[in-house]
């Protein structure tokens, strides 16, 4: 598999995971605000909420790393294309 495509696939997967975390956090916060919960249920939701927020931070950091890696790959490809155009321009100016 091409490394650039693997990074894009990982980015898409990471974004999906982040969306799921945000949805679950929103659901838990809504349940904490609107429902009448027992103390045990409230503590369970609080623990799950803190775990989800920690997981969300990790996923967002991983996404930033993947985006940086993807940017480097794109920059490398762009520089190769630029170098090819420079050589073609030099070839067209001096050898024709």
Q: What's the domain count of the chain?
A: 1
Q: How many CB atoms lie within 10 A of CB 54?
A: 10
> Can you give the CATH number for the domain in which 36 is found?
1.20.58
Q: Tell me the average pLDDT across 53-57.
A: 95
* Percent over 90 (pLDDT), the chain: 76
Q: Range of 8's domain?
A: 3-94
Any idea what DSSP says for residue 95?
-
| pLDDT confidence band for 35 (50 / 70 / 90) | confident
Q: What is the DSSP string of 1-36?
A: --HHHHHHHHHHHHHHHHHHHHHHHHHHHHHHHHS-
Assign 60 to helix, strand or coil.
Answer: helix
């Amino acid at each position: 598999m091409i490394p650039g495509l693997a990074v894009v696939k990982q980015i898409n997967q990471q974004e999906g995971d982040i969306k799921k975390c945000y949805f679950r956090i929103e659901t838990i916060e809504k349940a904490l605000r609107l429902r009448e919960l027992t103390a045990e249920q409230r503590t369970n939701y609080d623990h799950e909420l803190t775990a989800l927020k920690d997981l969300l931070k990790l996923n967002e950091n991983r996404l930033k790393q993947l985006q940086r890696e993807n940017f480097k790959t794109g920059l490398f490809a762009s520089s190769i294309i630029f170098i090819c155009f420079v050589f073609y321009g030099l070839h067209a100016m001096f050898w024709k």
